[in-house]
Amino acid sequence: MKVVILGKKGAGKTQLLNRMLKNSFSEEIPPTVAAKFAKIDNELDIWDLSGDEQYENVRGFYYRQAEAAIYCIDLSSDEELNYWQIRSEIQRFRDFTNPDVPVVLVGTKADICSDNPEKNSEAAEEKIKAIIDEFQTEDISITDVFVTSSKENYNIEGFPEYLKALIQRITREREIAQVSFQPSQWQEAYTALRQRIALLPFDKYIAIDKELKALKTALEQPLLAEEKAAAVKTFIDQSHLILEGKHPNVLKSVLILASVATVTVIAGLIGFGIGFAAGIWSGPGAFFTGLMAGGTAASTVVATSSALGLLSGGLAAYSLFKPSKELVAIDDFVTQISESMSLNIPK
C-alpha cells in the first residue's frame, strides 16, 4: 500500500513519519532531499516528499500508483495559507493516481499553537476548523482530518492501522462500483414502472420520469457503492413526494424497481466471492449478516436493503414479490451460500 506525505517545507512531515515508524521525535531534522522512503508493518510504503519548490517537478514520479496521501499543515504557523496552491497540488496528485484516492488532512504541531500551553488544544481545534471551512469554500476535497503533535505523540498512535483500513475500504468500494446490473431483471422492472407512470397526470409523469432517468444514469455509472445507494434512496424519497400518498400501484412499481436494483447489486457483489463479500460487509447490521438471516428472496432483499439504508422500510411485505425464475434462483443461491458457510438459515 503506497502512501505519500505532502505539504510545505517545514510542515512536520518527516517528524510525523518518524513518530509512526520509530515512535521517536527530534526537534532538529534536516530538510528532506527530494523524497524519503519508509516501510511500516511490511504493508505500508510511505514516501515523505520534500516541500521544497525545487522538487516540485519530480513529485509526479512519486505520485504514481499511490493509494492515499497525507497532506500536512503546520498549525503553529502564522503564515497565511495559499489555498489555491494546496488545491492545485492535491488535484495534480489525483491526476496522477485516481479521482477518488483518499487525501487525509493532518494538522501538525498542535502542541505549540498558542503562547499559553494550556490553550494549545483549543487553538489547534480553532485553526483546523478555519482551514476546513476554507477547504470547503475553495472546493478542496479531503477524506478525513486529524490534529496531531509528533512531539507529544498526540493522535498518531494507530495512524498506520487507520491508513491501511482506509485504503482497503476505498479499494473495495471501487470493486463494488464496477458491479453492473442484469439487463433482463432491470429492464422488466423499468418497463413496468414506465407503463404505470404513463397513466399519471402529466406533471407527475414528467417528474417521476426525470427521477427514473437520473436513477438509471447513476446505477450505470462506475460510482462508489455509497453513491449508488444514495441514488436509490433519492429516487424513492422523491417518488414519495411526487405521488403525495396517492397512486399505490405506481408506488408499488417504484419499490419493486428499487428492490430489483438492490438484488442485482447483491448478486454482483457475491460474484466476487464469499470471502470478499464477508470481508466487505462485516460488522453490526452488515450486508452479509442480513444475507444469512433470511430464507426467501423477499426477506433477503428486505434485510439487505435495510442494512444498506436503501429502502428505509419501503419493502414491508412479501406480497410485493411474485415468484419468478430470477427470484427462485436468488433463493437457491442464498441456500447454497448458507450451506457452504455451514450456517443454518431459518425457514
Q: Where are the domains of the chain?
A: 2-176, 178-340
Q: Which three cell numbers stand for residue 146?
A: 486529524
Helix or strand or coil: residue 244? coil
Give 159-179 pLDDT, tens digit per residue: 888 888 888 877 776 665 554
In this prediction the pTM is: 0.54
DSSP state of 222: -
* Distance separating alpha carbons of residues 292 and 342, to the nearest angstrom: 11
* Distance separating alpha carbons of residues 319 and 323, to the nearest angstrom: 10
Cβ contacts of residue 314 below 8 Å, gap of 6+? Answer: 236, 255, 258, 305
Q: Which three cell numbers stand for residue 316?
A: 414491508
Q: Are 40 and 3 in contact (CB under 8 A)?
A: no
Q: Which three cell numbers stand for residue 167?
A: 485504503
* Distance separating alpha carbons of residues 183 and 190, to the nearest angstrom: 10
Give 99-156 pLDDT, tens digit per residue: 878 899 999 998 888 777 778 888 888 888 888 888 888 878 888 888 888 998 888 8
The Cα angle at residue 268 between residues 266 and 269, in degrees rounded to 5:
65
pLDDT of residue 302: 39
Give 190-242 pLDDT, tens digit per residue: 778 888 887 888 888 888 888 888 888 887 776 665 677 778 778 888 888 89
Cβ contacts of residue 184 below 8 Å, gap of 6+? Answer: 326
Cβ contacts of residue 193 below 8 Å, gap of 6+? Answer: 212, 250, 253, 254, 256, 257
Residue 94, Cβ density class (10 Å: 0-12 exposed, 13-18 middle, ≥19 buried): middle
Torsions phi, psi for 122 (to 5 deg):
-65, -45
Q: Which three cell numbers stand for residue 56?
A: 516540485
Range of weakest confidence among 95-104, 245-254, 287-296:
287-296
pLDDT of residue 71: 93
Residue 48, Cβ density class (10 Å: 0-12 exposed, 13-18 middle, ≥19 buried): buried
Which class would CATH give 2-176? alpha beta
Give 326's Cβ-side CA count (13 Å radius): 17
Helix or strand or coil: residue 316? coil
* Distance separating alpha carbons of residues 265 and 181, to the nearest angstrom: 7
Highest mean pLDDT among 93-97, 327-331, 332-336: 93-97
List, in sequence order, every residue forming a beta bridge with 154; answer none if it has no partner: 149
* Distance separating alpha carbons of residues 129 and 82, to the nearest angstrom: 16
